[in-house]
Amino acid sequence: MQYLKRFRGLHVTLWLSLGIGSAIAIVIRPVVAQPAETLIRFASFNTFLNREAEGQLITDLSTLDNSQAQAVAEIIQRVNPDVLLLKEFDFDAEGRAVWLFQRNYLEVSQNGATPVEYPYVYLSSVNTGIASGFDLDNDGTVDSTPGDRTYGGDAFGFGVFPGQYAMVLLSRYPIVEEEIRTFQTFLWRDMPDALLPDDLETPEPNDWYSPDELAVVRLSSKNHWDVPVDVDGVTIHILASHPTPPVFDGPEDRNGRRNFDELRLWADYITSSGAGYLYDDAGERGGLEVGERFVIMGDLNADPFDGDGMPGAIAQLLEHPLVNASVVPASEGAAEDGDGDDHEGPPQFDTAAFGDFGNFRLDYVLPSVNLEVVEAGIFWPTQADLLFGLVGDGNAVVSSDHRLVWVDLKVRDEP
Ligand SMILES: [Ca+2]
Ligand SMILES: [Ca+2]
Ligand SMILES: [Ca+2]
Ligand SMILES: [Ca+2]
């Protein structure tokens, strides 16, 4: 593991490996009086802080000793990101759960780690668990009673109550609230050449959803946010999403197709000429201006090599000319854990551990080409590491079934 911390007046890079027989190196270099660039750590973490009942997360986080929340908080404290996107963090409109998570966990030292504070917080409602009023999973009934999987199957995004599996952005830098854009209500059918699924038992094409359903079916399974963050006068757009996993469906592959198009939304959004069809929740059209800086973050539920996603889904972003995917975050823990499975993908790049299904690369922090990557990594210690207990062996969830992914970016005044 490598941790990079900033101190007043000095940049201290501390290579600290807790494995046996390892070396420790400390490099101290002075910072010029008027720094022309800032080093910032961006991170994405699917925290698994979702619960089966509305309000349960608030109850859990009202304590100081929920062991899962402690492990999640310690991971965040150990990595110490500056801008952090949490996924699978249940939504409440007052932001009570995230307030409690900050006060009772992040701002409390976990196992001697330094507490972390995030003065800027963004969250919004998501499509998970919002009843559509239609039979979207085509099981023959419209389920509008929250609390079970058949309800989730008919919701705009899968969730057993409104707001399950939501997202939260935490930042040490100001969020430019008046310029936030969200795409919660953008309709799937309004994407040109959308990969609308087909009911294979009827001759008509692309008819899994009826015309009445397509008039309400939303593309984003949670939400797609463009949250601008002001880094010492430089605006960086955080493009946050959590596309649906490409599984839990039938031969029509409605979730695989949706995952592909949810990723395409960002590929089009960052290509100004291709984004004219997009409208946000305020009715404004179009995508990012040419030359803007951005970081696409999230559990994107798409592995470049393995799993049930549609071919080319994540390549829409990894191979996009405006995305800087030159540095692939890796970890020794993932390399150790994934060694020996039958996957094609290199195990050291995996970010999620799904037991018998193996490990997958699903979580991403993808900057724009006009941002320079200095370091990148995944919080996945090896078994010999003193911090291994925070992730465990993958057979039971200690903190999360996903790992925190981070990227250090150099932000210049002039790109
Ligand atoms: Ca239907
Ligand atoms: Ca149904
Ligand atoms: Ca059909
Ligand atoms: Ca793998």
Q: For 4-18, 151-165, 280-294, 378-392, which range has the lowest pLDDT when averaged over its residues?
A: 4-18
pLDDT of residue 395: 79
| Furthest-apart CA atoms within the chain: distance in Å | 70
The more confident residue out of 4 and 360 is 360
Ligand 3 centroid to Cα of residue 309, in Å, is 21
Q: For 9-18, 49-58, 186-195, 219-228, which range has the lowest pLDDT when averaged over its residues?
A: 9-18
The more confident residue out of 88 and 394 is 88
Ligand 4 centroid to Cα of residue 337, in Å, is 10
The half-sphere exposure of 57 on its side-chain side, counting CA atoms within 13 A, is: 25
pLDDT of residue 415: 46
Instruction: Find the mean pLDDT for residues 369-397.
Output: 95
pTM: 0.91
For 300-315, write each residue's pLDDT tens digit. 999 999 999 999 999 9
pLDDT of residue 338: 86
Look-up of token digits 């609230």: 177
Distance CA 225, CA 7 (A): 31
Q: How far is CA 93 from the centre of its chain?
A: 20
Instruction: Find the mean pLDDT for residues 202-222.
Output: 98
Looking at the CA of 342, which ligand is closest?
4
Looking at the CA of 209, which ligand is closest?
1
Ligand 4 centroid to Cα of residue 328, in Å, is 14
Which segments within 139-231 are labelled E, that is strand? 167-171, 181-182, 224-231
**pLDDT of 146 over the 70 cut:** yes
Average pLDDT, the chain: 91
Identify residues whose C-beta is under 5 A from ligand 4, the ion.
Answer: 343, 345, 350, 359
**pLDDT of 329 over the 80 cut:** yes
Instruction: Find the mean pLDDT for residues 64-85.
Output: 98
User: Tokens in use for 118?
Assistant: 């995030």
pLDDT of residue 414: 57
pLDDT band at 24 (very low <50, low <70, confident <90, very high): very low
CATH numbers and ranges of domains, the chain = 1-35 (no CATH), 39-128+163-412 (3.60.10.10)
Share of the chain above pLDDT 90, in %: 86
pLDDT of residue 413: 62
**pLDDT of 93 over the 50 cut:** yes
SS3 185: coil
Ligand 2 centroid to Cα of residue 157, in Å, is 13
CB 83 within 8 A of CB 42: yes
For 32-42, write each residue's pLDDT tens digit. 444 567 899 99
Distance CA 258, CA 240 (A): 16
Q: Which residues does residue 30 pair with via DSSP β-bridges, in sequence order?
A: 10
Q: Could you tell me the strand order of the sheet in which 37-49 lies?
A: 120-123, 167-171, 83-89, 37-49, 405-412, 372-378
